[in-house]
């Protein structure tokens, strides 16, 4: 009668367990013992896989912590570089310098109020007062002449680039002085004369 051979699955699994236990546990039981019961064998199997899973989870947690630290460090470095870039940009950025404010001229402020009046007589007074300011300015340039008209005729455009506006404003003043109330001064003309005087005085830096 032929001999019947049986495959001992318990022995097969135990050998696999013994192999991995030797790798992860550093030792072996030196072989299979027939005295080990089936229940004890499966307990070893369960403990082996439990320990292996625990070891894997420890590696996963460590890898996660390392990755977390790397992300935090990277974010901090990016923030530092961004702040440094902004600081360098501020240091190299040239801020526009506001032009210096000229001190207010009370005399011109009075003339402006007269020009803003609804009364045409006030406009005449404003033109006469502004013409007196113009005469003082032209005298400061030392142009030859006994009157403002003569000094304007002898004025140099290189010294006084607003000479044409000064002439236009002075001519209206002369008509007011010569014709008196017969000269009809419109509001529009008064504002144009004001602009001429204003242009001259701003260019000269006295208002």
| Whole-prediction pTM | 0.52
Do 169 and 193 form a contact (C-beta atoms < 8 A)?
Answer: yes
Residue of higher predicted confidence among 196 and 76: 196
Mean pLDDT of 77-89: 78
pLDDT tens-digit profile of 152-181? 999 999 999 999 999 999 999 999 999 988
Mean pLDDT of 26-55: 57
Sign of the Cα pseudo-torsion (155, 159, 163, 169, in order): negative
Structural domain spans, the chain: 9-92, 106-204
Residue 161, both tokens: 């680039």
DSSP-derived secondary structure for 165-197: HHHHHHHHHHHHHHHGGGS---HHHHHHHHHHH
Q: Quick one: pLDDT at residue 34?
A: 45
- What lies within 8 Å, CB to CB, of 83 at 6+ separation is none
Q: Is the pLDDT of residue 197 over 70?
A: yes
Q: Quick one: pLDDT at residue 134?
A: 97
Sign of the Cα pseudo-torsion (9, 15, 20, 25, in order): positive
């Amino acid at each position: 009668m032929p001999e019947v051979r049986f495959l001992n699955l318990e022995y097969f699994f135990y050998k696999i367990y013994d192999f991995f236990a030797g790798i992860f546990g550093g030792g072996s039981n030196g072989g299979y013992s027939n005295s080990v019961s089936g229940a004890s064998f499966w307990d070893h199997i369960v403990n082996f896989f439990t320990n292996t899973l625990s070891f894997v989870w420890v590696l996963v947690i460590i890898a996660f912590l390392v990755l977390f630290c790397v992300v935090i460090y990277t974010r901090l470095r990016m923030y530092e570089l961004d702040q440094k870039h902004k600081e360098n940009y501020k240091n190299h950025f040239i801020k526009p310098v506001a032009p210096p404010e000229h001190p207010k001229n009370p005399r011109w402020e009075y003339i402006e109020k007269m020009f803003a009046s609804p009364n045409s007589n006030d406009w005449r007074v404003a033109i006469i007062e502004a013409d007196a300011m113009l005469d003082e300015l032209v005298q400061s340039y030392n142009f030859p002449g006994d009157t403002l008209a003569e000094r304007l005729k002898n004025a140099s455009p290189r010294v006084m680039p607003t000479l044409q506006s000064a002439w236009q404003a002075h001519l209206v003043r002369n008509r007011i002085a010569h014709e008196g109330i017969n000269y009809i001064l419109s509001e529009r003309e008064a504002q144009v004369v004001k602009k001429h005087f204003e242009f001259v005085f701003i260019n000269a830096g006295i208002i």
